[in-house]
Amino acid sequence: MPFCLLSCPQRSLFLFQQSKRKNGHSALPIDLLKDEQFLLKDRIDPFGCVAEELKLVERTLARSLHSQEEKLTEVASHLIEGGGKRVRPMITLLSFKLLGGVKVQDAVDIATAIELIHTATLLHDDIIDGAETRRGRDSAYKKFGLKNSLITGDFLFIKGFEFAGKFDETVVQWTADACTQLTEGEILQGFFNRNIAVTIPDYLEIVTRKTASLFQTGARVGAYLAGASPSLIEVMSQYGLNLGIAFQIIDDVLDVIGHERLLGKPTGMDLRDGNPSLPIILALNEGHRAVEEAFVGSRPSEEKIQAAIQAIAKSTAIEQAKALSRKYSDKAFNLLEKLPPSIYRNGLRTMVQLVVERQT
Amino acid sequence: MPFCLLSCPQRSLFLFQQSKRKNGHSALPIDLLKDEQFLLKDRIDPFGCVAEELKLVERTLARSLHSQEEKLTEVASHLIEGGGKRVRPMITLLSFKLLGGVKVQDAVDIATAIELIHTATLLHDDIIDGAETRRGRDSAYKKFGLKNSLITGDFLFIKGFEFAGKFDETVVQWTADACTQLTEGEILQGFFNRNIAVTIPDYLEIVTRKTASLFQTGARVGAYLAGASPSLIEVMSQYGLNLGIAFQIIDDVLDVIGHERLLGKPTGMDLRDGNPSLPIILALNEGHRAVEEAFVGSRPSEEKIQAAIQAIAKSTAIEQAKALSRKYSDKAFNLLEKLPPSIYRNGLRTMVQLVVERQT
């Protein structure tokens, strides 16, 4: 988790703010956050900016996994405690704090909901893909089987909605819409499975629904719960959307050129599963036969997979994919110009950079 | 659907009440429902009692299945429009009306939520059991495959929660609790799969969570949304719980002695899947070797299944199971004594009788 490795010179300042809140005082008014001392030109550890809130999310996640049936808790814990990056909760919390949110428990609850829903989709995705590894160890599907993974996925969806359902109709609707988009994205991805007709607009449609929708909802709800104006909520919504697309493109790139040990799973999974990743689409557009053979074959041999990976790596696909990711990440970065400067804004900007530069 | 075949002499009276509500007048006060003319000693068609509301549920269900991805709508419609009995929505609506509920849309929305959640569990159950038929035709799992069934199940869960999330925290919590119980019941049932250690208390625990919890929630929320007192909400909650247990016991009985054509699926499925149904447990307790052989064997032959069905049918298991079902249905029936007499109370009582006598 590279986020933890960054320095955070503002930690003490941040903790000073935090401690005031813990004593029941109201949060710093947003005007105060405009103070020059918060205008940081350098990177800031986004994890450190909301460390206390993230601890609360971890505690809330752990509590929500408790079930009368130990198996549910065991399967859910396997994934939740298995080293997720918590990118979605972090975006939610940073957005909330940037917009001057006061009731931290609100942000913690919705950040928890979003992570639970995300984890539910991972469990179900692994069943669909027959994935054997996830986050460096056996997938829940491999370790606990189809039945336990499927039911635990349902359990986590339910727990996620239990948290989201505590809020007003707007939050419920946005969360439900994001979840509907997740399922629609999965179906659309299935439609283009091993299908060379897939185009870049199709790809962007898939990743917008399947990945970016939850990033978008986290950033949007965080701002909404902070009491931000509709226009600022929309800015944060667009930030989340663009960051989410950039995030998924880098995921696809790492599936080709990443380090298996860092990723915690083998590379080439998109080719094995026939998922239309951006580098695959770009290499197909360049007419690389080896990529086409591995992508369209129903059970491509390991030899063909490796040949396709080599072909993609040697093509301009990775370069092009990174450039497209950069386009979306730049947009996310620049959108934050419209928000008042603060450590949280710096944290969200650093998030953008980390997402683009990440190795895992 | 035998419910439709019952006569409903009070239909016109009911419709008169309905039309008043549609014009925006308040519902009949509950005292009026005590009027002698509503005291019906005979059976009443519970479907007819809430026919207008059920039509609204059907329309709301159909609307909620709409997705940008046609495949989701297609898979969901296959099951939703495939002839479900709508028992859960009916209980919800009747409970709401019995307790003098006015805002019909509230009851319709939560009844829709409950049917969507129920259908989601059917889709996922069929994956777990590898079921080939459901409601007289190919199961969604067989027709559309694992991936589409799994994602459509998620989609229906999400839609169900979208409706439930429109209500206050009490309704959200009760609905989420019921759903959590569904998953816990499924895990518990899995634990006792082909496991001769299963006891009748284990069975009751499984069916309470896996089936009765949603009946209970429907009846409970119906009363709550009608503005009933806590004690009457609790009466309706217990009604739903007891009816749900009776319903599941009869389901188990029909899996042994039912008519395949009426059921829309083969009998003996519990033996094939190794699910600990009540007749199986009772026959095991009587020491029937043929039942034990079929139940514990990992892939029992069709010959063994048929031998076990014969053994159960000849034992006292069916008689005992029916007696236990009767115990729970009687409790549900008698609980309604505590509610004011009305066509809706009669409808709920008739529901009890229909559940016990049903052939499908």
Question: Which CATH number is B286's domain given?
Answer: 1.10.600.10
Contacts of B357 (CB under 8 A, 6+ apart): none
Which pLDDT does position A44 carry in this prediction?
81
Query: Cβ separation of A150 and B184 shorter than 8 Å?
Result: no
Interatomic CA distance for residues B279 and B350, integer angstroms: 25
B147 interaction partners in chain A (CB closer than 8 Å) = 128, 190
Residues of chain A with pLDDT under 50: 1-40
A129 CA: distance to closest CA in chain B (Å): 9
Nearby residues of B332 by Cβ (< 8 Å), 6 or more positions away: B238, B239, B240, B242, B243, B246, B352
Three-state DSSP state, B23: coil
Contact criterion met (CB below 8 Å) for A214 and A117: yes
Portion of chain B with pLDDT greater than 90, in percent: 74
CB B348 within 8 A of CB B94: yes
Tell whether B130 is within 8 A of chain A (Cβ): no
pLDDT band at B263 (very low <50, low <70, confident <90, very high): confident
With CA atoms as reference, report the closest residue to A43 among A354, A303, A280, A355: A354
Higher-scoring residue by pLDDT: B27, B225: B225
Instruction: Return the closest-CA partner of residue A247 out of A93, A87, A45.
Output: A87
Give the three-class secondary structure for B131. coil
Q: Which residues of A touch B182 (CB under 8 A)?
A: 154
pLDDT at res. B14: 27
Where do we find the tokens 């692994």? Answer: A126
The upper half-sphere exposure of residue A151, i.e. CA atoms within 13 Å in the direction of its Cβ, equals: 30
CA-based radius of gyration for chain B: 20
* H or E stretch at B133: strand B133-134
| HSE-up (13 A, CA, CB side) for residue B215 | 24
pTM of the predicted model, to two decimals? 0.86
Distance in angstroms between the alpha carbons of the first and the last residue of chain B: 8
Distance CA B206, CA B192 (A): 10
Full domain range(s) for residue B301: 42-355
Q: What pLDDT sits at residue B38?
A: 37
Is the residue at A314 inside a domain? yes
Q: Distance between CA atoms of A239 and A339, rounded to whole angstroms?
A: 11
Confidence of residue B12 (pLDDT cuts 50, 70, 90): very low
Structure tokens at A54: 């993230």
Q: Which residues of B touch A154 (CB under 8 A)?
A: 120-121, 124, 153-154, 157, 179, 182-183
Residue of A nearest to B180 (CA): A155
Whether B346 is in a domain gets the answer yes
CA distance A294 to chain B (A): 22
Contact state of A150 with B124 under an 8 Å Cβ cutoff:
yes
**How far is CA B154 from each of CA A125, A171, A230, B146, rounded to the nearest angstrom?**
11, 19, 30, 12
Residue A39 maps to a domain: no
Buried b (16+ CB within 10 A) or exposed e, B291-305: bbbbbeeeebeeebb
Which of B125, B126, B180 to mutate against chain A (most A CBs within 10 Å)? B180
B189 is a domain residue: yes
pLDDT at A359: 72
Asked if the Cβ–Cβ distance from B128 to A147 is below 8 Å, we say: yes
DSSP string of A155-186, one letter each residue:
HHHHHHHHHHTTS-HHHHHHHHHHHHHHHHHH
Chain A contact for B20 (CB, 8 A cutoff): no
Structure tokens at B317: 């298991």
Q: Does B132 touch chain A (CB under 8 A)?
A: no
Are residues B120 and B149 in contact, defined by beta-carbon separation less than 8 angstroms?
no
Cα B244 from Cα B238, distance rounded (Å): 10
Structure confidence at residue A73 (pLDDT): 94
pLDDT digits (tens, 9 = 90+) for B190-217: 999 999 999 999 999 999 999 999 999 9
User: Could you report the per-residue pLDDT of B44-79, keeping only the tens digit for each?
Assistant: 888 888 999 999 999 999 999 999 899 999 999 998
A107: in domain: yes
Question: Between the CA of residue B94 and those of A252, B17, B104, B159, B236, what are the distances in Å?
Answer: 52, 14, 11, 23, 10
Question: Do B68 and A184 lie within an 8 Å CB cutoff?
Answer: yes
**In this structure, is residue B172 part of a structural domain?**
yes
pLDDT at B85: 86
CA distance A311 to A283: 8
ipTM above 0.90, yes or no: no
Residue of chain B whose alpha carbon sits nearest to that of A73: B184
Which value, to the nearest 10 degrees, does the dihedral of the CA atoms of residues B339, B344, B349, B351 take? -140
Four-residue CA torsion sign, B171, B174, B176, B182 = negative
Does residue B188 surpass a pLDDT of 80? yes
Q: Does the beta carbon of A127 lie under 8 angstroms from any beta carbon of chain B?
A: yes
Q: Is B3 within a domain?
A: no
Q: Which of A150-159, A176-185, B154-163, B295-304 has the lowest mean pLDDT?
A: B295-304
- Give the span between the Cα atoms of B119 and B79, in whole angstroms: 7
Q: Enumerate the β-bridge partners of residue B138.
A: B133
Name the average pLDDT for chain B. Answer: 86
Q: How far apart are CA B218 and CA B213, in angstroms?
A: 9
Nearest-Cα residue of chain A relative to residue B156: A180
Per-residue model confidence (pLDDT) at position A42: 60
B186 to chain A, any CB pair closer than 8 A? The answer is yes
Q: Which amino acid is at A310?
A: Q
Candidate from A127, A152, A165 with C-beta closest to B161 = A165
Q: Are A201 and A72 in contact (CB under 8 A)?
A: no
B73 close to A (CB below 8 A): no
Q: Which of residues 286-305 of B touch A (CB under 8 A)?
A: none
Domain assignment present for B218? yes
Partners of B68 on chain A (C-beta within 8 Å) are 184
DSSP-derived 3-state class of residue A133: strand
Mutate to test the interface with B, among A128, A158, A168, A210 (most CBs of B within 10 A): A158
Number of domains in chain A: 1
Strand partners, A133: A138
CA B190 vs CA A284, B185, B196, B215: distances in Å: 45, 8, 13, 22
Task: Give A336-341's long-range contacts (Cβ < 8 A, gap of 24+).
Answer: A336/A235, A336/A239, A338/A232, A338/A235, A339/A98, A339/A99, A339/A232, A339/A235, A339/A236, A340/A30, A340/A33, A340/A34, A340/A98, A341/A33, A341/A34, A341/A38, A341/A39
Task: Find out whether B193 and B300 touch, Cβ atoms under 8 Å.
Answer: no
B195 contacts on A by Cβ (under 8 Å): none
pLDDT at B42: 61
Instruction: Tell whether B6 lies on the interface with A, counting CB pairs under 8 A.
Output: no
A219 touches chain B (CB under 8 A): no
Strand, helix or coil at B139?
A: coil
Strand partners, B133: B138
